[in-house]
């Protein structure tokens, strides 16, 4: 297996992956961690390749915690780099409770009223651009008022 950082359309994301021809191994990993997913590659191969992968932020934290408690003998430096990336990384989509979502939206609206650039608001609050504009429109918030003809 390996710890990887994939880049897709200018967006990087971490991924823990194990490739094997032994289906039993990926099933054990899935049962042990109780996270991730299993896929199978069969095209142009004599034997299928089973792939166990974990990409969700919260699930990757579980994998990190496990390998912090049980030190790797091989690929330790790869693990450290992966862990550092994960600690700095912010997923594009963050699942929040209703209360957390409301707080994030309130913070975003407050930042907007203070004149913070929209790109920075989205980056710092995790509120999607679309959702921010819906809220701003609902509250009829605009930064620049049109000058009426006198």
> Do 6 and 79 fall within a single domain?
yes
The answer to whether residue 144 sits within a structural domain is no
Neighbours of 82 (CB within 10 A): 22
**What contacts 37, CB < 8 A, 6 or more positions away?**
30, 52, 53, 54
Q: In which domain, by residue range, is 118 found?
A: 98-138
Whether residues 67 and 14 fall in one domain: yes
The two tokens of residue 21 are 């021809």
pLDDT digits over 46-102, tens only?
889 999 999 888 889 999 999 889 888 888 888 888 888 888 776 665 566 788 888
**pLDDT confidence of residue 143:** 74
Tell me what pLDDT residue 4 has.
73
66 belongs to a structural domain: yes
pLDDT at 106: 92
CA angle 35, 39, 44 (to 5 degrees): 160
- Asked if residue 150 belongs to a domain, the reply is no
pLDDT tens digits, residue range 22-41?
Answer: 999 999 999 999 999 999 98
The DSSP line for 44-83 is T-SS-EEEEEE-SHHHHHHHHHHHHHS--SSSHHHHHHHH
What's the domain count of the chain? 2
């Amino acid at each position: 297996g390996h710890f990887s950082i994939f880049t897709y359309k200018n967006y990087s994301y971490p991924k823990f992956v194990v490739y094997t021809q032994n289906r039993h191994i990926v099933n054990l990993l899935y049962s042990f961690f109780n996270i991730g997913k299993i896929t199978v590659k069969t095209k142009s191969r004599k034997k299928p390749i089973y792939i166990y992968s974990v990409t969700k932020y919260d699930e990757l934290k579980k994998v990190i915690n496990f390998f912090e408690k049980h030190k790797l003998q091989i690929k330790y430096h790869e693990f450290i780099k992966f862990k550092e990336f994960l600690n700095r990384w912010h997923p594009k989509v963050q699942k929040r409770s209703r209360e957390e979502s409301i707080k994030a939206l309130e913070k975003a609206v407050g930042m907007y009223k203070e004149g913070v650039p929209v790109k920075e608001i989205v980056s710092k609050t995790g509120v999607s651009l679309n959702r921010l504009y819906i809220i701003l429109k609902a509250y009829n918030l605009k930064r620049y008022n049109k000058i009426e003809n006198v």
